[in-house]
Amino acid sequence: MSLINLLDLLPDELESLAESLGAPRYRGRQLAGWMYHKRVTDVLAMSDLPRPFREALTQRTTVAVPDVERCTPSRDGSRKFVLRYDDGARVQSVLMPDGERLTLCVSTQVGCGFGCAFCYTGTMGLDRNLHAGEIIGQVLAAARTLPSGQRLTHIVYMGMGEPLANYGATVKSLRLLTDPRAFGFSPRRITVSTVGLVGGIEKLAQENLRVNLAISLHATDNAIRDRLMPVNRGFAIEELLAACRRFPLPFRQRMTFEYVLLEDVNDSPAAARELARLLKGIRAKINLIPFNDWPGAPFARPPLARVLAFQNALLERGITATVRWSKGEDIGAACGQLSEAVVA
Ligand code: SF4
């Protein structure tokens, strides 16, 4: 009999599990308190739970936090983790300190099937989806490495995989992160990044999760976006932006558009002007990401002057645009650089 990963269960489901094992429902709440507030994952060490309940739990369940197989520190203070699950699958998570902020970038799939041309992860192909418990297991694994008193402040779904292509697990993991009985993160401190799966964006809009949404746009012209992101052949830019306009943004929240700058591909002044025109009417901010190189990449990073000219063209048109010099570039942990052998 395969064991239930307790990290896969929402707080209500933990209560139902307690009931099914002959314990009162509130034992499920205590269990969540141990795992998420006290960060104890050994059920036998949960001292205020009755021994028979703990023993029943150990026979049927596990708390499967992935092993940190490797942790590589970067010169800029970020750290890349290679995490290994029980079946040998590996993903990467990246911890990025920035002043008071400590952001963890999590993966939602082992590999990725979307094949964006500028992304190293896309060269791996998709091995499998992660379960919700495997996604939040990355948060627990990274949190365990922090010195006492230091806490994660932000979570971004920008690691390996497309979150909305693993919709059910992504949404469940977001509920676990934001539920005060579990992690209790503010949704404003969580960002889900998507290549622009229109159906997924529309479904997410109905979930009332109030997390931030980031769209990987990367081009203003369908022919170029088709080439960079094969997903565009199914959902053209106009259709994607129409879904973004319909997305219910919480008060004062803005949608982020990610735009990787590739020399002589999408970095012209005309592209900047077109980007400003396309985003009219959307409460948007743009993250410009100068391309991060990886072995065999068919693209180059534009010179600094061209990056700044692109940014200025947006600023002049009243669009908030920041240049994101990615963290962890020296350790292959920057945006679009994540890749890892899939199984042992
Ligand atoms: S950018 Fe995201 S969706 Fe595209 S290949 Fe890379 S991981 Fe997949």
pLDDT in tens, 48-62: 999 999 999 999 999
Residues ≥6 apart with Cβ < 8 Å to 335? 158, 258, 260, 289, 292, 324, 326
Asked if pLDDT for residue 331 goes beyond 80, the answer is no
> For the chain, what is the largest distance between any 2 Cα atoms, rounded to a whole number of angstroms?
69
Q: Among the atoms of ligand 1, which is closest to the Cα of residue 115?
A: 5
- Is the shortest distance between the CB of 94 and ligand 1 below 6 Å? no
* Strand, coil or helix: 215: strand
Average pLDDT over residues 299-305: 95
Which phi and psi angles does 5 have, rounded to 5°?
A: -80, 115
- Is the shortest distance between the CB of 162 and ligand 1 below 6 Å? yes
Where does the pLDDT of residue 241 fall: very low under 50, low under 70, confident under 90, or very high at 90 and above?
Answer: very high
Q: How far is the CA of 166 from the centre of ligand 1 (A)?
A: 13
- Is the shortest distance between the CB of 258 and ligand 1 below 6 Å? no
Q: Using most ligand atoms within 8 A of CB, pick from 93, 110, 112 the residue to mutate for ligand 1.
A: 112
Residue 197's Cβ-count burial label (10 Å; 0-12, 13-18, 19+) is buried
- CB atoms near residue 8 (< 10 Å): 20
* Strand, coil or helix: 135: helix
Q: Among the atoms of ligand 1, which is closest to the Cα of residue 161?
A: 7
**In contact, 111 and 126? CB cutoff 8 Å:** yes
- Is the shortest distance between the CB of 116 and ligand 1 below 6 Å? yes
Tell me the H-state helices in the chain: 11-20, 26-32, 51-60, 132-144, 167-178, 198-205, 222-228, 237-246, 269-278, 304-316
The more confident residue out of 6 and 330 is 6
Q: Annotate 231-294 with DSSP letters as a single string.
A: GGGTS-HHHHHHHHHHS-PPTT--EEEEEEE-TTTT-SHHHHHHHHHHTTTS-EEEEEEEPPP-
The more confident residue out of 192 and 235 is 192
The pLDDT of residue 338: 66
CA 188 to chain centre: 14
Q: Among the atoms of ligand 1, which is closest to the Cα of residue 165?
A: 3
CA distances from 150 to 155, 201, 242 (A): 15, 33, 40
**In contact, 183 and 152? CB cutoff 8 Å:** no
The more confident residue out of 17 and 326 is 17
The pLDDT of residue 220: 97
The pLDDT of residue 119: 87
Q: Using most ligand atoms within 8 A of CB, pick from 91, 105, 124, 195 the residue to mutate for ligand 1.
A: 195
Residues ≥6 apart with Cβ < 8 Å to 90? 69, 82, 83, 84, 110, 340, 341, 342, 343, 344
The pLDDT of residue 334: 56
- Is the shortest distance between the CB of 192 and ligand 1 below 6 Å? no
Asked if pLDDT for residue 76 goes beyond 70, the answer is yes
Asked if pLDDT for residue 342 goes beyond 80, the answer is no
Query: What's the chain's length in residues?
Result: 344
Token pair 């200025």: residue: 312
The pLDDT of residue 341: 45
The pLDDT of residue 294: 82
Cα gap 148→170, rounded to integer Å: 28
The closest residue, in CA terms, to atom 5 on ligand 1 is 122
Where does the pLDDT of residue 127 fall: very low under 50, low under 70, confident under 90, or very high at 90 and above?
Answer: very high
Q: Nearest Cα to 172, choosing from 126, 204, 212, 214?
A: 204
pLDDT in tens, 94-117: 999 999 999 999 999 999 999 999
- Percent of the chain at pLDDT above 90? 85
Where does the pLDDT of residue 335 fall: very low under 50, low under 70, confident under 90, or very high at 90 and above?
Answer: low
The pLDDT of residue 344: 33
Cα gap 224→203, rounded to integer Å: 27
pLDDT in tens, 139-184: 999 999 999 889 999 999 999 999 999 999 999 999 999 999 999 9
- Is the shortest distance between the CB of 195 and ligand 1 below 6 Å? yes
With both helix axes pointing from N to C terminus, report the angle between 167-178 and 198-205 in degrees, rounded to the nearest 10. Answer: 30
- Is the shortest distance between the CB of 284 and ligand 1 below 6 Å? no
Q: Nearest Cα to 157, choosing from 107, 86, 83, 98?
A: 107
Q: Nearest Cα to 179, choosing from 13, 5, 65?
A: 13
Asked if pLDDT for residue 21 goes beyond 60, the answer is yes
Average pLDDT over residues 23-52: 96
**In contact, 327 and 316? CB cutoff 8 Å:** no
**In contact, 272 and 310? CB cutoff 8 Å:** yes
**In contact, 265 and 224? CB cutoff 8 Å:** yes
